[in-house]
């Protein structure tokens, strides 16, 4: 099988919908947050912990895995699932975003992108076809089309050209893609220009992908601008296909994205801030390393059912961070991911009961950035 | 209750014995290897993982905890057990070894040791009494007397003086110690001089401690010299009290120690080498980071029941180390500790069946240092 997506329920007063995304590796309840496992590991966690915490699908990065350990090696291991010991669904990005983030180290042509490895400076060339070939070797459940991610801010004329290139590349990706179970998503671009977002979405929709990423957002633009771009792009995408807002993971953006019809999200945010000693709560983030927590023997968040909150105090976690102990990174990562998984479950329940608008109001009444 | 130690069986052809050590936090089967949790965490692991892996008792370091987060804070948390979430037994060292390792930063007098913190250079003074007070605040199940650990090599005359000081300090520790469940062990010193080892053991035995550490070994002397020191000290210690060889954790030394009547061991070795990408096997250590393992899709050790070997290949673990991923540290640490726990269980079973001599021969036929 490849992908099957079913919309179970649509909100009466917003674009939010409840869905089931079936891949070769299981069923994903949407809207869903996907943790990022850049180098074939969600940093600090085992795959079994992730599953027990409630992760349904994770993202892994094609650029990193292509360079190290190499996609051929992963193919020889039987693919990314057995290599990293993760039995559930995996989405791979195309490598585009990472390659474009290299700045001076890369050169874009119609054919693809030439770049130098951030690891050893070696020269590489990734075309849309090559990106698809790597992702097929990785054997993820969902592959992403190779797109250009222009920096923010960029001129209208550049974004227009870039979105056209992304469209031509999307066609080449589709032509090259041939895999027994992997599904290929197209990616909407168009910067912060509503008409370009709409046009990109319409063009990609014509190519009839089984799902659509919305890329090039959460790159520095104000949040209201991001929401406006969703409002421009989403109506142009088919109702019966999943929509994936790339690189977004803060609770406020998750809820606003869901309200505008987004089904999938990913971000390094919860895991990255955890490793810097910041934990997420419904009142906002706490810097657990800070002095006020030195003698605070309460859990990070009262009532949180995560492993960390059930067993350890803020004082202990702070001590681990001050002492630079790995366990601190683990405990903060566990809490932040469980926080987001629970948050998404609450969002799904609110859609189920058609009270997401009310949930949003309650959320923002409590939440301080 | 305080400590209860029962010798269940003694080998017919060596000093090896099988025992049960009962503390306020559970029963420990001896001979036992104790992992080290220097800063109130066995590096990279949760207490629940440790317990599931078979850890019965862990060691934590008084010097480190005194400086950070402070023993008063830990006392306010209810002691080390609730602070770190470990329900089973804990042994704390006296801080002596760490303070003496500071080199120029410390000054020894009859009263105690003045030293500067390795963290911030602040000045501190630890006397035998102070060490005991800290350990009582930590609430470990077994506290160690504050001893002087002379460097290797040292002159006979210096070692003699030092062992006498350690003896006088042991008496002061005993006088100060007063705790509802914590047991206090004396520590045998005497460098690499059999007569001084014997004398130190005899003097301490007179003080009637509930158990005895053998310290100042595994500090650079050849292994046969260490074994000779055990042969000098152990016969002078009471038969019905546990003997603890401090700082020893390589499989060959564990078996040689057990044969000479040692019941308890600790070492940072398995956890430290794990974090540097070295894993333990019955054939000897493997540097899992090395190139030959890049495409080795077998587990670290065939048949090993540890979490790591059940789920991950050498190639994946190598990848994690090359990519500097925390999960690599965890997986190697898990394997090495389970390796030692299983090794000790095999040793206990061999004593039970009175075939430890044979087990030793088989072990050394396979093992390449």
> Measured between beta carbons, which residues in chain B are less than 8 angstroms from residue A329?
326
Per the prediction, chain B carries an average pLDDT of 97
Put simply, the answer to whether A83 touches B316 (Cβ < 8 Å) is: yes
Give the count of Cβ contacts less than 8 A between chain A and B: 105
Q: Give the tens place of pLDDT for each residue, A96-144.
A: 888 888 877 889 999 999 999 999 999 999 999 999 999 999 999 999 9
Chain B residue closest in CA terms to A72: B295
Q: To which residue do tokens 């409630």 refer?
A: A54
Q: In what order do the strands lie in the sheet with B26-30?
A: B4-10, B17-23, B26-30
Rounded to whole angstroms, how far apart are CA atoms A341 and A54?
Answer: 6
Residue A358 neighbours by CB distance under 10 Å: 12
Q: To which residue do tokens 């040692």 refer?
A: B262
Q: Give the tens place of pLDDT for each residue, A206-234.
A: 999 999 999 999 999 999 999 999 999 99
Q: pLDDT at position A348, please?
A: 98
> Measured between beta carbons, which residues in chain A are less than 8 angstroms from residue B68?
319, 322-323
Catalytic annotation on A266?
A: yes
Q: To which residue do tokens 């690599």 refer?
A: B328
Q: Which of A41, A78, A307 to mutate to test the interface with B (most CBs of B within 10 A)?
A: A41
Q: pLDDT at position B278, please?
A: 98
> Measured between beta carbons, which residues in chain A are less than 8 angstroms from residue B45?
327
Q: Which of A319, A329, A334 to mutate to test the interface with B (most CBs of B within 10 A)?
A: A319
Could you tell me which residue, A320 or B369, shows the higher pLDDT?
Answer: A320
Rounded to whole angstroms, how far apart are CA atoms B139 and B80?
Answer: 6
Q: Give the tens place of pLDDT for each residue, A281-290.
A: 999 999 999 9
What SS3 class is residue B106? strand
Q: pLDDT at position B101, please?
A: 85
pTM beyond 0.90: the answer is: yes
Put simply, the answer to whether A297 touches B40 (Cβ < 8 Å) is: no
Rounded to whole angstroms, how far apart are CA atoms B147 and B134?
Answer: 15
Q: pLDDT at position B102, please?
A: 83
Beta bridge partners of B22: B4, B27
CB distance A249 to A265 below 8 Å: yes
Catalytic annotation on A141?
A: no
Put simply, the answer to whether B311 touches A41 (Cβ < 8 Å) is: no
How far is residue B352 CA from its own chain's centroid? 23
Put simply, the answer to whether B315 touches A85 (Cβ < 8 Å) is: no
Mean pLDDT by 10 residues, chain B (369 residues): 93 98 98 98 98 98 97 98 98 92 87 94 96 98 96 96 98 98 98 98 98 97 98 98 98 98 98 98 97 97 98 98 98 98 98 98 94
> Measured between beta carbons, which residues in chain A are less than 8 angstroms from residue B322?
68-69
What SS3 class is residue A208? coil
Distance from CA of B28 to the nearest CA of A (A): 24
What SS3 class is residue A8? strand
Put simply, the answer to whether A327 touches B76 (Cβ < 8 Å) is: no
Which of B17, B58, B16, B22 is closest to B40 using CA atoms? B58
pLDDT over 70 (residue A1)? no
Rounded to whole angstroms, how far apart are CA atoms A188 and A205?
Answer: 9
Q: Please report which helix (H) or strand (E) contains residue B163, including its range.
A: helix B156-176
Q: pLDDT at position B220, please?
A: 96
Rounded to whole angstroms, how far apart are CA atoms B146 and B135?
Answer: 10
How far is residue B140 CA from its own chain's centroid? 14
N-to-C CA span, chain A: 42
**What ipTM is given for this predicted complex?**
0.98
Q: Give the tens place of pLDDT for each residue, A289-313.
A: 999 999 999 999 999 999 999 999 9
Beta bridge partners of B107: B114
Rounded to whole angstroms, how far apart are CA atoms B328 and A320?
Answer: 19
- Residues 6 or more apart whose CB falls under 8 angstroms from that of B330 comprise A44, A46, A326, B44, B45
Distance from CA of B311 to the nearest CA of A (A): 6
B182 half-sphere exposure, CB direction, 13 A CA radius: 28
Residue B18 neighbours by CB distance under 10 Å: 23
Q: pLDDT at position A2, please?
A: 83
Q: Beta strand pairing status for A32-34 and B32-34?
A: unpaired
Q: Which one from A141, A147, A263, A266 is the annotated catalytic residue?
A: A266
Q: pLDDT at position A310, please?
A: 98
Q: Which of A288, A323, A324, A332 to mutate to test the interface with B (most CBs of B within 10 A)?
A: A323
Which of B343, B340, B350, B311 is closest to B327 using CA atoms? B311
Rounded to whole angstroms, how far apart are CA atoms B99 and B114?
Answer: 9
> Measured between beta carbons, which residues in chain A are less than 8 angstroms from residue B323?
39, 41, 64, 68-69
Distance from CA of A252 to the nearest CA of B (A): 29
What dihedral angle (degrees, nearest 10) is formed by the CA atoms of B86, B268, B179, B73?
A: -60
Put simply, the answer to whether B312 touches A85 (Cβ < 8 Å) is: yes
Q: To which residue do tokens 């190697």 refer?
A: B332
- Residues 6 or more apart whose CB falls under 8 angstroms from that of A34 comprise A55, A56, A57, A58, A59, A91, A264, A265, A266
CB distance A311 to A304 below 8 Å: no
CB distance B246 to B214 below 8 Å: yes
Radius of gyration (Cα) for chain A, nearest Å? 20
> Measured between beta carbons, which residues in chain B are less than 8 angstroms from residue A40?
316, 319
- Residues of chain B that touch chain A, judged by Cβ-Cβ distance less than 8 Å: 39-41, 43-48, 64, 68-69, 73, 76-77, 83-85, 294-295, 297, 307, 311-313, 315-316, 318-320, 322-323, 325-327, 329-331
């Amino acid at each position: 099988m490849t992908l099957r997506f079913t919309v179970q329920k649509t909100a009466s007063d917003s674009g939010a919908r409840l869905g089931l995304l079936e891949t070769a590796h299981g069923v994903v309840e949407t809207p869903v947050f996907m943790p990022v496992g850049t180098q074939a590991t969600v940093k600090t966690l085992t795959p079994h912990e992730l599953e027990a915490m409630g992760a349904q699908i994770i993202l892994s990065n094609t650029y990193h895995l292509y360079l190290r350990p190499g996609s051929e090696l992963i193919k020889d291991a039987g693919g990314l699932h057995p290599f990293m010991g993760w039995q559930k669904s995996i989405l791979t990005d195309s490598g585009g975003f990472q390659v474009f983030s290299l700045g001076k180290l890369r050169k874009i042509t119609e054919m693809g992108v030439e770049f130098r490895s951030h690891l050893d400076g070696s020269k590489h060339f990734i075309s849309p076809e090559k990106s698809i070939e790597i992702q097929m070797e990785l054997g993820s459940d969902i592959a992403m089309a190779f797109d250009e991610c222009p920096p923010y801010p960029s001129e209208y004329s550049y974004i227009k050209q870039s979105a056209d290139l992304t469209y031509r590349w999307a066609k080449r990706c589709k032509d090259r893609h041939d895999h027994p179970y992997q599904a290929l998503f197209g990616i909407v671009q168009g910067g912060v220009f509503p008409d370009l977002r709409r046009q990109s979405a319409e063009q990609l929709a014509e190519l009839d992908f089984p799902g659509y990423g919305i890329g090039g957002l959460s790159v520095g633009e104000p949040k209201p601008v991001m929401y406006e771009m969703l409002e421009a792009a989403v109506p142009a995408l088919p109702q019966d296909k999943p929509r994936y807002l790339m690189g977004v993971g803060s609770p406020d953006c998750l809820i606003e994205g869901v309200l505008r019809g987004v089904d999938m999200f990913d971000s390094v945010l919860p895991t990255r801030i955890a490793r810097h000693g910041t934990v997420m709560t419904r009142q906002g983030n706490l810097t657990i390393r800070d002095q006020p927590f030195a003698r605070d023997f309460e859990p990070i968040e009262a009532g949180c059912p995560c492993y960390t909150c059930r067993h350890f105090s803020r004082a202990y976690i702070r001590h681990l961070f001050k002492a630079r102990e790995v366990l601190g990174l683990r405990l903060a990562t566990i809490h932040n991911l469980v926080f987001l998984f629970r948050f998404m479950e609450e969002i799904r329940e609110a859609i189920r009961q058609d009270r997401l608008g009310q949930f949003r109001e309650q959320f923002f009444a409590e939440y301080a950035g």
